[in-house]
Amino acid sequence: MIALHESIAKLLAVQGNWKRAYSHMHAALRLAREAENAGPVVPEQFRMQVAELHRAHAAALHASMRDSLTAAYNRRYLDQRLAELLAEHSADPRSPGIAVALVDLDLFKDVNDRHGHLIGDRVLRQVVRLLQSELPNGGFCARYGGEEFVLVLPATTAQAAVSCVERTRRRVAAHPWTMLAPDLRVTISAGVVHIGGGDYPADTELCLGLADEALYAAKRAGRNAVSYRMADTIKLANTGDGDR
C-alpha cells in the first residue's frame, strides 16, 4: 500500500494535481509510521520525496505565471497581482499611489514581415529586458498579448511613473537594434494611468481601459511617444503642448 500511494502521488504530480499528490504522499507516510512503529520519526526516503514534490510544485507554479517566449509575467499573473495592488494602494491615503502603463511595440508586424518571426521573437525578448531594467520595488512587467506589455509601478507618484516610462521609451529607441538585423528599428508607445492613494476604488479592467485610451493618444500623435492621463485630459510626456 505504501508503494501504491507513492506511485499514485508521482503520477498525480506529473499531471499537476498537487493537492491529491500531497494527499497520497501523506497517506504513504502515515502507513510507514504505523508499519515501523516509529512514532513521529519520518523515514528519510519519504521526507526527500515530499521535499521533491514541494520543489516541483513551486517550479510548476512559477512557470504557470510566466510567458513562455519572453519570460515576462503572463496575463494570469497580471490580473491577479494588479487587483491586489490596486486594492492596497487606492485604499490607502498614505500611499503615493500606483501607476499602470500599457506598452505597445510600434509597427511590429513590419518587423516580422521584413525580418522574419525569429528576429521578431528576439526583439520581443530584448524589449522585455529593457522594460524591466528600471522598475521600482514591487514593480513588474507582464505580457498583455502579442506585442503589448503592461508595466505595473506600485508606490509611485504620477510624475515619477511618467518619467520612468519615458526613460524606458528612450532606452528602447536608443538600443542598437541593427545588431540583430540590418536596418532594424524598434520603438514603443505607451499610455500611463495613475491611481492615487485614497482615490476612487479601481479594478483591473477600468485601469487597463484608461491606460489603453492614453496609449491610443500616443499612437495618434505619431508613435514612439508616451501619453498620460491627468484628471480628465490626456497629454504627451515632455511636450507641455496641451491636451491630446
**Active site residue ranges:** 147
Strands 226-230 and 233-236: antiparallel
- Which candidate, 24, 30, 121, 125, places its Cα nearest to that of 72? 125
Asked whether 204 and 90 are in contact (CB, 8 A), the reply is no
Residue 158, SS3? helix
- Strands (DSSP E) contained in the chain are 98-105, 140-145, 148-154, 188-195, 226-230, 233-236
Closest CA to 96 of 195, 204, 226: 195
Map residue 241 onto helix, strand or coil.
coil
Distance CA 232, CA 141 (A): 26
| CA separation for the pair 11, 132 (Å, rounded) | 37
72 near 142, Cβ under 8 Å? yes
